[in-house]
Each structure stands twice: as C-alpha cells, then as structure tokens.
Structure 1
Amino acid sequence: MIRLLISLYLVVFVSIVLINQSSELIWNSWVHQAPDELRHAQLVAKVLQESVSDIHQLPPQVTTLSSDDVAWLPEQIAALQQGDVITTFTEQGDALLTFQIKGEESLAQLGPFLPASNALAQKYLFKLLSFAVLGLLLVFWLRPLWLDLMQFKRVTAQLAQGQLDISIQPSKFSAISNLTSQFHAMATKVANLMSDQKQLVNAVSHELRTPLARLKFALAMLAAKDPKEVQAMSQDVQEMELLIDEMLGYARLEIAAESLEYHAFDFSALVHGQIEKLQRTNTKELNVTLCPNVTIYADQHYIARVVQNLLQNACKYGHSKVHVTLLVSHGEIELQVEDDGAGIKPEDRDKVFSPFVRVDHSRNKALGGFGLGLAIVQKILNWHNGRCEVSTSALGGARFVMYLPISERVKLLEVTP
C-alpha cells in the first residue's frame, strides 16, 4: 500500500508541475502574445510619443486636444504627466489612446480602435484541456492497476464456479504487482485444495465402501455363531456406513455448487409435498399453515433438501407437536418450523449450523444423525442468498425460520401476462 500511495503521489505531483509549466508557456506564446489591433496600436502610440517633440510633427490622422477638453480623473492626469499612454473607451466600446506630447500641454489621441478581444473563453478552454491532460496521465497510470483488479475479479469468479485452471499475468508497471503475485499464489493453493478435496471424496467413495461391504458379508456369515456380538458389530458397521454417506453428501455440496439449476417453481406445492412424505412415517401432530402460490427462483432439488431437513429435525426432536407455517413478509419468503421439544439454548444457537455439532443432550446420537443436517441447510441457503435463524417456539421447543429473498425474475413473471 505504501508503494501504491507513493506512486500515486509522484504521478500527480509531477503531472501538475509539468502541466502548469507547459500551460503557462503556451498561454504566454499563444494567447497573451497573440496579434491584437489595440495592443499593436499601444506600441505605435508609445513609439510616436518618444519620436515627436512638437505638435506639428504629428501625422494628420492623430487628433490633438487640450488637457482641459476632457474631465480626466486625477490618476489619469498623473499617468499622462509621467508619460504613460492611457486607454479610454467610447460609449460604443471603442478604445482611444491618449498621451502627452513632450514639452507641451497638448495631448495626442489615436483611435478609435476595436477593444482587446476577451480571452475568457480561451482561458477556460485552456484550463479544460489542462485537466484533460492530467486525467489522461492518470488513466495511463491506472490502466495496469485496473487490469490487475480485473484479473482478481476473473479468478475469484472462476474459483466460485469451481474452475480450477487459473492463471494470472501481473503487469510489471502496476503499483500492486507484488499483491497480484501473492494473490496468484493464494488462488493456486486454493485451487489445489479444492482439487484435492474432490479427489479425496472420490477416493473415500470408492475405497471405503469396499471393506465395509466385506465386513457386512463376514458378519452375515458369523451371525449363527454369536448372534448378539454379531448384531452389535453390524450396528457399528451400519453406523460407520451412514456416517460416510453423510460426510460424502456434505463434501459433495461444494462440488454441487458448480452445477445448480435455477428455475421458477411453486414453493408452496414443494413444502406440501414434503409434508405429505413425512406424514407417511411420522406419528406426531402436524399443524400446517401454507400461503398458496408462493413462487421462487431457485434450485428445486436442493431447496427440497432444506425443507426436508428442517421437517425431519422438528419431528425427530419434538415430543408430540410440530407446526409449519409458510408466509411472505417484507419482501421475503418465510418458512417457520416449530416443535415442542427441549429447544436450544441461546448461547448454542449459532453452533447448531456447524458440521458435526450436537449441542444439547436431547439432540444426541441415540436419536440418529451426525450434526450435518443443519449445516447442509445453512450451506444451501447461502447459495440462494437466504438464511436460517433459530429461536424459542411458542410450543416450548425450537423454532427454525428459513428466509429466502423474492427474486427479481419472479417479480417479472408476476407482472408479465
């Protein structure tokens, strides 16, 4: 940053000095010294004053008058007595040049002449050109910096989309070339980590399932010899297999973010369908209030996963009642899922969205799960610019509220006939 500030200061300082010096030189030679009838007449009048010592030596075009013929101001009289050529103007705006003849009281007057041209427009035009030159110099200085920043934008977009083949070519003249090189090294490392994660997921998916399958087969063969021991070992194997499935599913979410398929669909119908599936295997009392025809623009498969996880979570930890409410409020879609379980303590509410976290004794391993359901909910909602919040339910348990913004595309669909 120090190099960037010093570079900017030097460019601005040197540019201003050069522009000021060159503009003053050009102004003096182009505008101030430009030919002008009045300025030329003033020079002629000065030469004529110095060369004439008698009123009879004046050309016939020169008017002579007495100093009493004009009501001169005191400073004008003093200037005439000092031998200066003074300029006065007629009612029409024409200029008259007057000087006193040496050794006499008479005055000589030349004119009328057109007044000196107004250089105000030229002055502002010249200032505008000077600032334009300064801006052009700053553009040349900023161009390498802008190119590097655009590379930052391109690489971050590639990483967000899962494109791991990245490359950066830092400009040698950029003030942040060192930062660009460091960013390239960091981006390359991130890309390698993402690539390693993909390879690890694939390896776990293939390599761990094979020994688990052999263990299940061996346990099945030993079941007749020691049924109780074999049953306990089988439960451990099933638990390990379920854990691997959960871990792989969570790890695949990072890869899945690259291929989300967004489209508009009826969110009310999706929630209703998930509730119907849950009622087939659930005995708890479900109280459902759904706002009809709520359309969202999202990936339907993963949003269904979010709704499924929230409903299963409430049914798993609730005692007997679960309330589900869908409404639209303040430009957002809210899905509220409440249960009458033990609830979640306020200090633990931020932790429940972290992977492999079970913060309450009521939400323990005996009830199933490995603490990944709510982490998956949070990750999917982040993809859709949504969020999930936890509070205390009116039923006494936990209240999860899922928020999704109403997409501009959905608004456009609503107003389009």
Structure 2
Amino acid sequence: MLKLLLSLYLAVFTSIVVINQVSEAIWSHWVHSAPDELRHAKAVANTLKASISSHNLPQESETLKVLDMDDVAWLPEQASTLMQGGILTSFDDEGSAWLTFKVPNSTSLLQLGPLAPAASAANKEWVIKLLSYAVLAFLLMLWIRPLWLDLLQLRYITENLTQGQLPNAARHSRFSAISNLTEQIRDLASQVARLIENQKLLVNAVSHDLRTPLARLKFALAMLPEQSREQANDMADDVVEMEAMIDEMLAYARLEFEVDKLEVTSLDLCALVDDQINKLSKLTDKQITLNKKSTQVIVPGNAHYLSRAIQNIVQNADKYGRSNIEISLECDKSSAYLHIEDDGDGIPKSQWESVFIPFSRLDESRSKDNGGYGLGLAIVRKIATWHRGSCHVGFSELGGAKFTLTLPRASS
C-alpha cells in the first residue's frame, strides 16, 4: 500500500512539474513574443522621435496628429512621462490605442493612431490549459495502465477460481504498484484450485471405493449363522449408520460442485411447503399447523434444492419437537419468510450460529439418538446462500427453536 501511494504521489508531482514548465515556455514564446500592431507602432514611434525636432515637424495625416502640450488636460503621471521623453499609450472609447510623445526641445506633441487593440490571448490561454489537462491525463494513464492490467488479472483469477478451474499463468507488469500482490494472489489461487480438485477426487473416491467394502460387510453379516444373529444385527445397524453418514457427507461435499449447474426457475413456495408437509404428516404423529397469508408466493430458485432445504428444517423440527410443529409463511414486496417452529427444548442463543457449522452437534442426545450428523442445517444455509437468501434460528413462542428461511421474491 505504501508503494502504491508513493508511486501515485511521484507520478502526479512529476506530471504537474513537467506540465507547468512546458506551459510557461509555450506561453512566453507563443503569446508574449508574438508580434502585434501596437508593439510595431511603438518601434516606429521611437524611430520617428529620434529623427525629428522642433524645426522639421512632419505633416499631419490620418495616422499622425500634431498637438500642443497645453491642448490636453494630462494627468500628472501622463505629463511626467511625456516630459521625460517617454511614449505614452492611451486608449479611446472604442478600445483603439494612441501613442503620444513630446518633440525634443519643444512643447509640441506627436500622436500616432488609432491603432487596433492587441488581439485577446484568451483563446490561446484556453488552448494551453486544455493541452495541459490532456498531457496530465495521458501521464496518469501511463501510471494507471499497469495497475489496471493487474486488476484485470485479479478478476480473471477470481472468475476461474469460482468455477473451480486453475487459472492459467499470465505475465504481470513489473511497473505496477501492486505487482507483488498480484503474484501472491495468483499463487494463493493456484493452491486453492488444487485443493478444490483434490476435494473432488476425494469425494469421488469415497463415493465409489468406500461403498464397496461396506456392501461386502453387509453381505457377510447377513450370512452369519443364526446363533450370532443378535450380534450381527447390531453390527448391521452400525453399517447402515455409516452408509447414511457417508451419504450425508457426500451430499454436502457435492454442493460445492453443483452450484455451477444450478437451474433457476420461478417456483411457488407455497406448493413446495405443502408438499413437504404432506410427506412429513405420513411419517410423524406430531400436530402440524400451517399458517399462510397468501395462496401463492413466487420465488426464483431450484425446485430440488429448495425442497431439500425445507425438508431438512421440517425434519429437524420433527426430531426435536415434542408434540407440535408450527409453520408460517409471510412475505413483503421483496422477500418471502418461511418460519418453522417446534415445542422442544430450543437452542441456546450462544449456539445459534454453531448449528449451521458442518458436523456441529449441540450434544450427543441431539445427534446420534435422533439420527443426525450435523450436516442438515449446514446444507440449508448453503442452499439459502445460493438463492441469495438466508437462514437464521431464534426462540419460538412454543418454547423450542424457530428457524426462518428468507428468500427473495421474483420480480413482477
């Protein structure tokens, strides 16, 4: 950061100094040194003054007048200039210039004019200003270009990384103030991409290779003699539990790779909720209450994954609730809110965020005995994030936990 600030300060300081020096040189040589009628007339007046005297006054003409010193009421400063032999410049109402000087050893005055006023330098001044600003912009562009190229590299790296691809090696500008940062981020992105690729390989390996010995173990247990049946049943239950846990872990791991294939359509959230309630009512004896203010709430999303998220929350309420589950759906102009409450023991406030962490368990009784592996709510949070929504937990008026799934509504 210090290198960036110093380089910017040096670039701006150098540009301003160069532009000021060049502008002054152009102004002095192009504007002040440019000949005009008044400057030329002063040179003629000096030559004329040196060549005449009181005995050989020139004849009056349209551009030359002969006056007496007392014919004009001169200001003290003007009279002093004339008496000292200087050339007095005065202007009439039309802006024309008159050059007046005193004939040596005489009270006569010669007046040259009228002379057109000098051309305004305002246009030239604006041209120089615009050129200065253009040069400043060009010099700053030279400083910004390497920085801009490195920023484009960072965007390219992040885009490839979000797609799980290893970014191709690209050259960075050694003149950029963030070249070191770009190189470090590129190395970090390469490491992350390799970790993602290794995770994919691990998931595939677990999915195929671990199931095979489990299947053989289940078959071996089924073939045990009858006298060992009780012990075999316990072992078979452990195998089934291992299979369920592996399925849950693989489902969570695959979520990282499925986001790129997510197909989003307009869905009726009410229909998804009704479908999950119908499924749960066939498997539980708890009373399920549904409160919804609208018969149709359209949200953009993927039907499969939103159904999975709602199912996980509803099953969680069924596991830890005692006798009642209350589901309510409400919405405003921009969002839909699905509240799922139970009358269980609830979740301490200090652990509200912990329940969404993968493999997090509040206690053993709330995990193994109920068949949980600490991944269901983590999957819900991830799916909600995919859909630009959120999932939070709080206290329910029923005495247990209250989960709120927030999703953006489809724009009408």
Give yes or no for TM over 0.5: yes
CA contact (8 A) 2:367 2:374 kept: no
Residue 169 of structure 1 and its aligned partner are, at CA, apart by 2.2
- Once the two structures are superposed, residues 111-167 of structure 1 have per-residue CA deviations (whole angstroms, 9 ceiling, x without a partner) of 111111121232123112101110011112211110110111121112112233533
Give the 3-state SS of the residue equivalent to 1:391 in structure 2: strand
Give the equivalent residue in structure 2 for 1:196: 198
**What are the residue-to-residue correspondences of 1:113-152 with 2, within 5 Å?**
113-152=115-154
Give the equivalent residue in structure 1 for 2:164: 162
**What are the residue-to-residue correspondences of 1:14-413 with 2, within 5 Å?**
14-54=14-54, 56-58=56-58, 60-61=60-61, 62-222=64-224, 224-290=226-292, 291-329=294-332, 331-360=334-363, 363-406=366-409, 410-411=410-411
Residue 223 of structure 1 and its aligned partner are, at CA, apart by 5.3
CA contact (8 A) 1:387 1:404 kept: yes
Greater mean deviation of Cα atoms: 57-66 or 189-198: 57-66
**2 CA distance for matches of 1:319 and 1:55?**
132
Using structure 1 for the length normalisation, give the TM-score: 0.93
**2 CA distance for matches of 1:340 and 1:55?**
127
Give the 3-state SS of the residue equivalent to 1:327 in structure 2: strand
Residue 281 of structure 1 and its aligned partner are, at CA, apart by 1.2
Give the 3-state SS of the residue equivalent to 2:56 in structure 1: helix
**2 CA distance for matches of 1:135 and 1:243?**
62
Distance change >3 Å, CA 188–CA 72, structure 1 → 2: same
- Extract unaligned runs of 5+ from structure 1: none
Query: Aligned AA for 2:26?
Result: I
- Once the two structures are superposed, residues 47-69 of structure 1 have per-residue CA deviations (whole angstroms, 9 ceiling, x without a partner) of 33344444734464421222333
Query: Aligned AA for 2:375?
Result: L
Give the 3-state SS of the residue equivalent to 1:315 in structure 2: helix
RMSD: 1.8
Residue 304 of structure 1 and its aligned partner are, at CA, apart by 1.4
Greater mean deviation of Cα atoms: 95-104 or 328-337: 95-104
Residue 262 of structure 1 and its aligned partner are, at CA, apart by 1.4
Give the 3-state SS of the residue equivalent to 1:65 in structure 2: strand
Greater mean deviation of Cα atoms: 71-80 or 87-96: 71-80
Distance change >3 Å, CA 89–CA 55, structure 1 → 2: farther
Give the 3-state SS of the residue equivalent to 2:339 in structure 1: strand
**2 CA distance for matches of 1:268 and 1:99?**
102
Greater mean deviation of Cα atoms: 259-268 or 97-106: 97-106
Identity of aligned residues (%): 51
**1 CA distance for matches of 2:59 and 2:388?**
92
Residue 330 of structure 1 and its aligned partner are, at CA, apart by 5.5
Greater mean deviation of Cα atoms: 362-371 or 46-55: 46-55
Give the equivalent residue in structure 2 for 1:2: 2
- Extract unaligned runs of 5+ from structure 2: none
Query: Aligned AA for 1:322?
Result: I
Query: Aligned AA for 2:330?
Result: L
Number of aligned residue pairs? 409
Distance change >3 Å, CA 316–CA 82, structure 1 → 2: farther
Give the 3-state SS of the residue equivalent to 1:225 in structure 2: helix
Greater mean deviation of Cα atoms: 304-313 or 190-199: 304-313
**2 CA distance for matches of 1:21 and 1:50?**
40
CA contact (8 A) 1:223 1:231 kept: no
Distance change >3 Å, CA 389–CA 46, structure 1 → 2: farther
CA contact (8 A) 1:162 1:258 kept: no
Residue 313 of structure 1 and its aligned partner are, at CA, apart by 0.9
**1 CA distance for matches of 2:242 and 2:352?**
27
Give the 3-state SS of the residue equivalent to 1:159 in structure 2: helix
